[in-house]
Amino acid sequence: MAVRAVLRVFARRQSTAATILPEQLEWRDARPYSEVPGPKPLPVVGNTWRFLPYIGNFRIEEVDRVSRELYHKYGPVVKLAGLLGRPDMVFLYDADEIERVFRNEELMPHRPSMPSLNYYKHVLRKDIFGQHAGVIAVHGKSWYSFRTKVQQAMLQPRIVKLYVKPIEDTAKAFTQRINKIRDEHLEVPEDFLNEIHKWSLESIARVALDIRLGCLDDDLPHDSDTQTLINAVTTFFEKVGVLELKFPFWKIFNTPTWCTYIKSLDTITRMTKKHIQQAQQSARTDSLLQRVLALEPGHPHIAHVLAIDMFLVGIDTTSTAVASILYQLSLHPDKQEQLYNEIQQVLPSQETPITSQHLEQMSYLKACIKETLRMYPVVIGNGRCMTRDTVIAGYQIPAGTHVVFQHYVISNLEQYFPEADKFLPERWLKHSCNHKPHPFVSLPFGYGRRMCLGRRFADLEIQIIIAKIVQMFKIQYKYKKLEYRIHPMYTPDGPLKFTFINRTS
C-alpha cells in the first residue's frame, strides 16, 4: 500500500512538472505587480491629479522632465497606477528589458496610442473608414491585414529610391524659399518652423500622391487650403496628448478640446480626399497611391486611407526632426563644417543632381541625423499594451498594462552613451568609435512589426533637405539657447530665427 502511495505522488509530481511551461515558472518566481515602484495613487483620484493644473506637477509639455525625475527617484521600472479612465502605465528605462519585450513581440503588437483616433475612425466616421481603417490607432486583425497590404510599397528600398528626384526638387524649392524670406541680415522670420511644415507637406504630397501643392511658391494666405491643412495637423497633435493623458472627459461629453480635435481631423480627412481626387484625375502613375492601387486593384479605399494616415503623421514628425537637426548644426559649427566638407567631396557642385549612391556615401550626414534624434527624439517614447501576462525586469506585469519605453531618457544616460550630453555625431561612425551603442536604446522610428511605416521616406526627405541646405548655406543661430518642449513633438521651443549665409561653389 505504502509503495503504491509513494508511486502515485511521484507520478503526480512528474505530470505537474511536465505541464508547467518555462514562462509560467518565470511568472511564478517573479515579484508581484504591487511591488513595482512608483508614485502612490491617492484614493479616488489615483495619480490623475498629477496632470491637473495648479495642483499637479506633471505638465504634458514637460513629460520629458517628469519622466527623467521618475527614473532618478524610482529606478529603471516605474509604475504609474490609478489613472482614471485608462490602464496603468509602466515606464521602462532598461535597454536589455526593452530588447526582450520587442524580441518577444507577437504577430499583432498593440501600440496603445490614440484611443480618441480609434473612436473617430471606428465610430464617429465609420462611414469614411469602414473595415479598412488604416494603421494609426488600429489594432489586431484589422491593423494586420492593412499593414500587410501596404508595407511593401512603403518600406522597400528599391521603391523608395525612385522618389529621390521629386524629393530633391522639393528641397531645392525650399532653399529658394529661404533666399526669398531672409531679411537684410540674412535671417529668416520667427515662424520659420511653419515654413519647414510647408516643405514637409509638399514632400508628402509629392510622394503619396505625386501632386504639387505649391506650398513653397509664394506667401500663402492664412485661409489657403495648404495652411489650413498644416494648422489642422498641428492642432491634432496638440490635442491628442491632452486627450490621452488627462482624465478622458471626452468619453462622457463633448469637451471643447474634443470638439477642436474632431474639427481638425475632419479637416485633414476632407483635404486629403480632395487631393486624392486631384491626383486621380491627373493620370500620373508615380505616386504611392497609384502603386498601392496597382497592388490592390479591387480596394481603392486602402490607398485612400493610407494617404490620410500619411498626412496625419508624416508632416509634423519630419519637420520637427529637420528643425532640430538644423538647430543642432547651428549650435555646433565645427560639426557643421565637417558635414559641409563631406557634402563637397560627394557633390562637388550645387547643380549636381543627388542620387541614392551619393546619399550612401554621406555617412557623416546620417551620423548627424542619428545624433540629433538620440539626444532629442521627435517622439520621446514608444509603447506596447501587453496582450498577455509578462515578466518584465523581474516583475509580474499583467495583460492590459501599457508599457512605455522611455527612449529619450535612456539615450541621454552615460551608461549607454559616454559623454551623453555632448553632440558627437562621430559616435555613430563605424570606424571612428570603439563604443558600440546598444541597439535598443535610441529607436527614433520604433521597432518590429509596428515600426514606423514612413521611416524610409522620412530618412530620404531628411537626408536630402539637410544635404541641400548645408551645401548652400552656413547656418547660424545668434540668440539665447532654446529649451526643448513637447510641443506636440519634441521641438526646440522658440522662434527658429536662423541666419543662412550663402556658400559659393
Q: Is 101 in the site for ligand HEM (CB under 6 A)?
A: no
Minimum distance from residue 453 beta carbon to ligand HEM (Å): 4
Q: Is 313 in the site for ligand HEM (CB under 6 A)?
A: yes
Coil, helix or strand for 458?
A: helix
Minimum distance from residue 11 beta carbon to ligand HEM (Å): 47
Helices (H), 110-191: 115-119, 126-129, 140-155, 157-160, 164-181
Other residues' Cβ atoms within 10 Å of the Cβ of residue 447: 20
Please, what sign has the CA dihedral across residues 457, 422, 470, 230? positive
Stretch of 54-62, 212-220, 309-317, 335-343 lying at the interface with ligand HEM (CB under 6 A): 309-317
Contacts of 460 (CB under 8 A, 6+ apart): 160, 163, 164, 167, 359
Instruction: Measure CA 24 to chain center.
Output: 34
Q: Which of residues 457-476 bind ligand HEM (CB under 6 A)?
A: 457-458
Stretch of 53-61, 163-171, 412-420, 454-462 lying at the interface with ligand HEM (CB under 6 A): 454-462
Q: Is 95 in the site for ligand HEM (CB under 6 A)?
A: no
Other residues' Cβ atoms within 10 Å of the Cβ of residue 323: 23
Q: Is 172 in the site for ligand HEM (CB under 6 A)?
A: no
With CB under 6 A as the contact rule, the residue among 445, 473, 484, 498 that binds ligand HEM is 445
* Distance in angstroms (rounded) separating the CA atoms of residues 295 and 373: 34
- The site string for ligand HEM over 319-348 (x = CB under 6 A, - otherwise) reads --x---------------------------
135 in Cβ contact with 146 (< 8 Å):
yes
Check whether 452 is labelled as a binding-site residue. yes
Place of cell 509602466: 90
Q: Name the maximum alpha-carbon separation found in the chain.
A: 104
Stretch of 1-9, 254-262, 339-347, 451-459 lying at the interface with ligand HEM (CB under 6 A): 451-459
- The site string for ligand HEM over 222-261 (x = CB under 6 A, - otherwise) reads ----------------------------------------
Instruction: Name the CA radius of gyration of the chain, rounded.
Output: 25
Task: Give the three cell numbers for residue 240.
Answer: 491628442
Q: Is 309 in the site for ligand HEM (CB under 6 A)?
A: yes
Task: Give the three cell numbers for residue 264.
Answer: 481638425
Contacts of 305 (CB under 8 A, 6+ apart): 129, 132, 133, 134, 146
With CB under 6 A as the contact rule, the residue among 63, 90, 135, 265 that binds ligand HEM is 135
- Edge-to-edge strand ranges of the sheet holding 382-385: 77-80, 89-92, 402-405, 382-385
Q: Which of residues 357-386 bind ligand HEM (CB under 6 A)?
A: 378-379, 382
Q: Is 111 in the site for ligand HEM (CB under 6 A)?
A: yes
Nearer Cβ to ligand HEM (408/447):
447
Minimum distance from residue 204 beta carbon to ligand HEM (Å): 6
Q: Is 117 in the site for ligand HEM (CB under 6 A)?
A: no
Q: Is 451 in the site for ligand HEM (CB under 6 A)?
A: yes
Omega before 488 cis (within 30°)? yes
Q: Which of residues 393-412 bind ligand HEM (CB under 6 A)?
A: none
Stretch of 47-55, 223-231, 311-319, 333-341 lying at the interface with ligand HEM (CB under 6 A): 311-319
Q: Is 454 in the site for ligand HEM (CB under 6 A)?
A: yes
What is the 3-state composition of the chain as percent helix, strand, coil, each rounded to the nearest 5? Answer: 55, 10, 35
- β-sheet bridge partners, residue 485: 491
Nearer Cβ to ligand HEM (413/451):
451
Stretch of 155-163, 266-274, 412-420, 453-461 lying at the interface with ligand HEM (CB under 6 A): 453-461
- β-sheet bridge partners, residue 475: 500
Contacts of 262 (CB under 8 A, 6+ apart): 120, 124
Q: Measure CA of the first residue to CA of the last residue in the chain; give whole Å.
A: 99
Kindly write down the DSSP assignment for every residue of 186-204, as one continuous string: SBPPTTHHHHHHHHHHHHH
Stretch of 26-34, 84-92, 242-250, 316-324 lying at the interface with ligand HEM (CB under 6 A): 316-324
With CB under 6 A as the contact rule, the residue among 450, 468, 485, 487 that binds ligand HEM is 450
Coil, helix or strand for 148?
A: helix
Binding residues: 452
Give the residue numbers of the binding site for heme: 452
Contact positions vs ligand HEM (CB under 6 A):
111, 135-136, 147, 204, 309-310, 313-314, 317-318, 321, 378-379, 382, 444-447, 450-454, 457-458
